[in-house]
Amino acid sequence: MFPKGRFVGGVAVMAGLVVMAGPAEASLCYARDYDTAHLVKHVDQRVTRITVRLLADNGSGIGVGLWFRGDKRQWWAGGGCRQQGAVFACTLDGDGGKLTATRNAKGVRLDVPAAGMQVEHPDAQGNASFQAVDGPEHRVFLLWPAPEAACEPQN
């Protein structure tokens, strides 16, 4: 879920993820859409949809796509990770922050520290707008395996 040509860092070759990860890897694309019932219960949660793409093994990395209440645009962050088994300790590019992604049998758990993370969205001229993702409602995201198409960039 990254703007074409804008993804930098360890995940620059997103199209090659499946090949690079090898056929034994489980899905490297994870997603979650939050329904109205969930968002009504969590009024401070601004994220309505999230996708995570992981690059495993050599050159481990992460790409995160986010959508917010009242905003149909895709925001994103990406960076490099240190992988130890199912745990990816990631540092997002620029001043994006840090996060941990832990794969399990059901999907992936994304843990965002109290400091939060920063995501961006480029405008038509290529200038980036930034948005912080922080607060108690944005510390843990549980996502499930999704088709690779769910993690493709959207304009």
| 47-76 pLDDT per residue, tens | 999 999 998 777 789 999 999 999 999 999
Question: Residue 125: its pLDDT value, please?
Answer: 72
Cα 151 to Cα 2: distance, rounded to the nearest angstrom: 8
Q: Residues with Cβ < 8 Å from 26, sequence gap 6 or more?
A: 103, 145
Does the pTM of the predicted model rise above 0.85?
no
pLDDT in tens, 14-37: 333 333 333 334 348 999 999 999
Residue 79 reports pLDDT greater than 70: yes
Question: Residue 13: its pLDDT value, please?
Answer: 29
